[in-house]
A and B are shown apart, each in its own frame.
Chain A
Amino acid sequence: MFARLVYESFRRQKRRKLLAGAAITLGVTVATAMIAVATDIGDKINRELRTIGANLLVTPEEDSLDVEIGGINLKPPSDGAFLNEADLPKIEGTFWHNNITGFAPMLPVNVALQRGGQTENLTLLGTYFARQISFGKEAITTGVRSTHPWWKVTSGAWPGDNSRDVLLGERLAARLSAKAGDEVTLSGRQLHVSGILSTGGVEDDQVVAPIALAQEVLGRPGVVRRVYVSALTKPEDALARRDPRSMSGPVYDRWYCSPYPQSIAFQLQEAIPHSHAEQIRQVAQNEGAVLTRIEGLIFLVTLAALLASALAVSAAMATAIFERRVEVGLMKALGAGRFAVASIFFAEATLLAVIGGLVGFGAGAALARQIGRSIFNSQITIPPVLLPVILAIAVMVTFVGSAAAIRKAVELDPVFALRGEL
């Protein structure tokens, strides 16, 4: 009898049920989409922040002091220590390698530019442009094109990593009135200029080349001076700032397994022999602040969205129940108890919430994907684990939303309700 009542109610009042169901579906859609966006926004903004540049720097452990002003290195070229280029793929073997979006080694060397009988001392910077690196089964493409996205080749093309082509800095090229396709003579080597590089920084006065060429000029094959690493990190907190050597076992594990700039630097240091890794505070410190602000903002806005959708669902349920006073009056006149009437309404509400919740979850996931694709050019996926949570919230909100209306309906005097008064 109970089941039949509920079934008949759905069969006969299709329009009303559809309206209430639509409200629940829309509410759940908005809630799901906003929760998905809020949980993923940190990662998305973190990736956008990587356009500001690398946040970690790996240098040789026993390095002599850098003597560099305005991009011109005054340290004797043979001075100081180097890192071994062969060790670099090990970066992909660290615990947090999935958080490392790219790295670029740098090797500045002093060269003499011969032009029209004159020589000029310049810095030649050897680096990776977009190099295939493989470590075990992992293979990534890395280099300045991913770690330094503001470097732009204004005319010509990027050189290949295995070529002997070079890029001329913008200001240097203007001074030499050189253009892409020209030849330059650097320390006795005839090199082809594949393009003009614009960075807005000191590289505008330098020559940028594949790392093998810089090593050849220096006469030290397989060495690099420093490595810039771009990693997705978590804003640092009190635990992050502690010294790992003073930590007890479980605390150390928690520190080690959190993607703090400090712990990723620590792991890089472990992976690359004789190295010292440090966060670049200008980038690492500030991105934590920006990230916290944006995450907090979207979290609060998500709360507002949840509130709005909860209200929409309750409003729709209250209206739907209020319209059925006569029915309630009839049921009560026929001898139905308060409990029986209430349970019918609650059963209907649950059914509506589950159906609306399922449809809304699907629609919300689609909406979140659309938002991700159109704003961030990448997917926002919603973990399926969230489905039961969302369903439970939908049922709860529907219950709470209808509770007041059901109580009112149950307390009605059947005589007034049937006469259509009130």
Chain B
Amino acid sequence: MSASPSESAREIAASRGKSPHTSMFLRMLVRAAALRRGRALAALFAMVVAAAVATAVLNLYVDVQAKLRREFRNYGANIVLVGRDGASLPARALVQVESTLAGRGVVAPFGLVVARTSAGQPIVVAGTDFDRVRQLDRWWSVSNWPAAPQQALIGVRALSAVSPRNQPFDLTFQGRTIHLTPAGTVETGAAEDSRIYLSLPDFVAWTAVQPSTIEVAATGSPEEIAASVRQLEQAVPAADVRPVRQIMEGEARVLGKTRATLLAAAALIILTAALCVLSTLMGWVFDRRRDFAIMKALGASDRLLKGFFAAEAAALGAAGAVIGFVLGIGIAAWIGRVNFHAPVAPRFSVLPFVLAGSIVVTLLSAILPISLLRRVQPAVILRGE
């Protein structure tokens, strides 16, 4: 099957009619850049640096919240579950808390009783899960964590009361006695210094008291943490769920201020970078006023001229933005590695903003000189005046 000859002829004519214009346009774009390689490269360089710096700062701005939240989780629990009216929590409370959080945080149970030393002195003894505490309370300064059963971690102030020469000791609670060996000391500068810590199995076997407190370091934004608090209230009705307000408020304040500072810095940097591109590009376009004059003398319309320079600028802007974006992601990742010891994940949501911003700035810096030159007669420019 073949098309009628007149139809195919028309097709060829149509494609010929279009293609010379398009290819001429492209050729002018490419040749213009190739002939004045130095200046075109300088303009591209300015664009790349501006886009890279903008990308890096925006990327950090988006990511810094997550990074700093992680630092703040080192402050320990931001939610505390306490048995109502000092009662113990049900044995399955810990499992319920863990399944409610589903990995969004660290959880540690604590049971507390007042026992007596062999000298009859009252002392607070706590049972906990040492592996969890190590993750939750990273500021604890511990000389040696207990590893075996019947070993105790002793607060520095309690040490002289129970085991001044690091010898094994006995503690009594409601007539039952436990024999313990000291494993190490804990120092925090707070209430922990006056306590003795045992592993939870030892504690429960000795006192028959279940944990009364569960401390939770929940990750996420304030809204997510508030949601976790509500979920925990439903999951463990026997407990009073309290957010630790001092940690949450301090975190919110510091994060807010840091982000605001970063935003101000980002605005300043992007402004300066845009100005750098503007001045370089305006110089470049202004420099080519002779090309402009020749094209105009040869009969190019104002629209074509504007279109030509605009297309050139947009191409430069887009190329610069893409290269700069890749570079900026690299810079952000490097800053993440150096400063936060964790990579900053590339945010591709930043790309459209950088791309649009770059093209707007380059268009602006191309159109501005053209509008100035349009009013001048080509002859005047060609004479070099």
Contact = CB atoms under 8 A, between A and B. Distances in A.
A279 B190 CA distance: 9
Interface stretch (B16-24, B69-77, B96-104, B167-175): B69-77
Contacts of A148: 246
Given A30-B268, A45-B258, A69 B190 contact: no
A305 interface: yes
Contact of A298 (B72, B265, B273, B338): B265
A34 B384 contact: no
B279 A420 contact: no
Contact of A304 (B46, B53, B290): B53
Contacts of B250: 48-49, 51-53, 150
Interface string B22-48: 000000000000000000001000100
Contacts of B246: 51-53, 148, 150, 200-201
Contacts of A68: 124, 191, 194
Nearest to B43: A315
13 contacts: A30-B272, A34-B265, A49-B250, A65-B122, A65-B194, A68-B194, A150-B249, A200-B244, A305-B268, A312-B272, A312-B273, A319-B282, A323-B283
Contacts of A293: 67-68, 71, 339-340
A227 to B, nearest CB: 13
A308 interface: yes
B283 A371 contact: no
B257 A33 contact: no
Q: Interface centre among A37, A283, A285, A312, by most B CB within 10 Å?
A: A312
Nearest to B74: A286
Contacts of A278: 189, 193
Contact of A65 (B161, B268, B273): B161
Interface stretch (A19-27, A109-117, A246-254): A19-27
B60 to A, nearest CB: 7
A281 B191 CA distance: 11
Contact of B57 (A282, A301, A326): A301
Q: Is the interface of A mostly helix, strand, loop or mixed?
A: helix
A302 interface: yes
Given A66-B191, A74-B114, A323-B286, A304 B56 contact: yes
Nearest to B86: A70
Given A67-B114, A315-B279, A301 B60 contact: yes
A297 to B, nearest CB: 5
A69 B114 contact: yes
B279 A23 contact: yes
Contact of A281 (B188, B258, B338): B188
Interface residues of A, number: 72
Contact of B243 (A74, A200, A367): A200
Interface string B135-161: 001011100000000000000011001
Interface of A: 19, 23, 26-27, 30, 33-34, 37, 41, 44-45, 48-49, 51-53, 57, 63, 65-70, 74-75, 148-150, 199-201, 278-286, 289-290, 293-294, 296-298, 300-302, 304-305, 307-309, 311-312, 315-316, 318-319, 322-323, 326, 367, 371, 374-376, 419-420
Interface of B: 42, 46, 49-50, 53, 56-57, 60, 64, 67-68, 71-72, 74-76, 82, 86, 112, 114, 121-124, 137, 139-141, 157-158, 161, 187-191, 193-194, 213, 242-247, 249-250, 253-254, 257-258, 260-262, 264-266, 268-269, 271-273, 275-276, 279-280, 282-283, 286-287, 290, 331, 335, 338-340, 384
A304 B269 CA distance: 7
Given A278-B189, A279-B189, A294 B68 contact: yes
A26 B271 CA distance: 9
B139 A375 contact: no
A59 B327 CA distance: 54
A326 B385 CA distance: 11
B194 A301 contact: no
A280 B75 CA distance: 11
Contacts of B280: 315, 318-319
Contacts of B286: 323
B279 A297 contact: no
A311 B46 contact: yes
Contacts of B247: 52
Nearest to A204: B242
A252 B53 CA distance: 44
Contacts of A376: 257
Given A282-B137, A376-B257, A70 B82 contact: yes
A280 to B, nearest CB: 4
Closest 10 CB pairs of A and B: A319-B283, A200-B245, A52-B250, A312-B276, A420-B384, A296-B339, A278-B189, A281-B139, A285-B139, A308-B272
Contact of B268 (A33, A67, A69, A289): A33
A199 B335 contact: no
A315 B282 CA distance: 11
